Structure 1
Amino acid sequence: MASRRPPNRKALIRSAASELFVRHGYHNVSVAEVAEALDITAAALYHHYRNKQDLLLQVILDGFESVDAVIREAKTLDTAIGSLATLVAGPKSLLGVWEREARNLEGSQRLTVLELQTRIVTDFQPLLRAARTELDAPESELVARAVLGTLGGQSSRRSVSRRKDERLMVRLASAVAHCRLPAPDPTAEPHRPDSGGTSSGVRRPRRDQLLTEAIRLFDERGYQSVTVADIGEAAGIVASGVYRHFAGKTDMLVAAMNRGGEHLRTGADQALGHARDPREALELLLRAHIDVTVKHRHLVGILTHESDQLPDKERIALRRYQADYLDVWVQALGAVRTGRDAADLRTTVHATHSMIHFVVRSGPTSRWPALPERLAALGTALLLAE
Structure 2
Amino acid sequence: MGPRAGRRRTELLAAAARLFAAHGYRGVTIDDLGRAVGTTGPALYRHFPGKEALLGAVLVDISERLAERGRALVADSDTSEGALSALLRGHIAFALDEPDLITVHDRELGNLIDRDRRTVRRLQRGYVEEWVNVLAELRPGAGRSTLRASVHATFGLLNSTPHSRGELSRDAMADLLLRMGTAALLAQTPASG
The interval holding the TM-score normalised by the smaller chain is: 0.7 to 0.9
TM-score computed with the length of structure 2 as normaliser: 0.83
The yes-or-no answer on 1:276 pairing with 2:72 is no
Kindly provide the CA deviation profile for residues 162-183 of structure 1, in whole angstroms up to 9, marking residues without a partner as x: xxxxxxxxxxxxxxxxxxxxxx
2: distance between equivalents of 1:207 and 1:331? 34
**Aligned residue number for residue 302 of structure 1:** 104
Distance 2:166 2:72 in 1: 26
Which of residues 184, 201, 207 in structure 1 aligns to 2:9? 207
Q: CA deviation at 1:365?
A: 5.1
Instruction: Tell me if the contact between 2:60 and 2:116 (Cα under 8 Å) persists in the aligned partners.
Output: no
How far apart, CA to CA, are the structure 2 residues paired with 1:331 and 1:244?
41
Bigger mean CA deviation after superposition, 250-259 or 205-214: 205-214
CA contact 2:131–2:151 (8 Å) conserved in 1: yes
The answer for the alignment partner of 1:287 in structure 2 is 89
TM-score by length of 1: 0.44
Q: Normalized per residue, which structure has more helix?
A: 2
Q: Distance in 2 between matches of 1:364 and 1:275?
A: 29
* Aligned pairs for 1:326-345 within 5 A: 326-345=128-147
Q: Deviations over 1:133-191 (max 9, x none)?
A: xxxxxxxxxxxxxxxxxxxxxxxxxxxxxxxxxxxxxxxxxxxxxxxxxxxxxxxxxxx
Bigger RCO of structures 1 and 2 (CA < 8 A, at least 6 apart): 2
Alpha-carbon distance, 1:252 to partner = 0.9
Given the alignment of the two structures, is residue 368 of structure 1 paired with residue 165 of structure 2, yes or no? no
- 3-state secondary structure, aligned to 2:159: helix
Q: Which residue of 2 aligns with 1:193?
A: none
* Structure 1 position 236, deviation (Å): 3.1
CA drift at 1:309: 1.7
> Does 2:126 align with 1:324?
yes
Structure 2 counterpart of 1:228, from 30, 34, 41? 30
Is the CA contact 2:150–2:185 (under 8 Å) kept in the aligned structure 1? yes
Shift of 1:227: 1.8
SS of the equivalent of 2:46 reads: coil
Change (3 A) 1:226 1:362: same
Maintained 8 Å contact 1:260/1:303 = no
**8 Å CA contact 1:282, 1:329 repeated in 2:** yes
The separation in 2 between residues aligned to 1:210 and 1:316, in whole angstroms, is: 23
- Between the aligned partners of 1:239 and 1:307, the Cα distance in structure 2 is 23
Deviation at 1:245, TM superposition (A): 2.7
| Alignment partner, residue 257 of structure 1 | 59
- Alpha carbons 1:290, 1:375 under 8 Å: kept: yes
**Which residue number in structure 2 is paired with residue 244 of structure 1?**
46
State whether residues 267 and 289 of structure 1, in contact with CA within 8 Å, keep that contact through their aligned partners in structure 2. Answer: no
2:151 aligns with one of 327, 341, 349? 349
Structure 1 gaps of 5+ residues are: 1-203
Contact 1:260 1:300 survives alignment (8 Å): no
Q: CA RMSD in A?
A: 2.1
CA distance in 1, matches of 2:167, 2:10: 26
Task: Write the distance in 2 (CA, Å) between the matches of 1:328 and 1:369.
Answer: 26
| Maintained 8 Å contact 2:64/2:123 | no
1:246 Cα deviation after fit: 2.1
1:381 partner letter: A
Q: Give the 3 Å change call, closer, same or farther, for CA 296–369 of structure 1 in structure 2.
A: closer
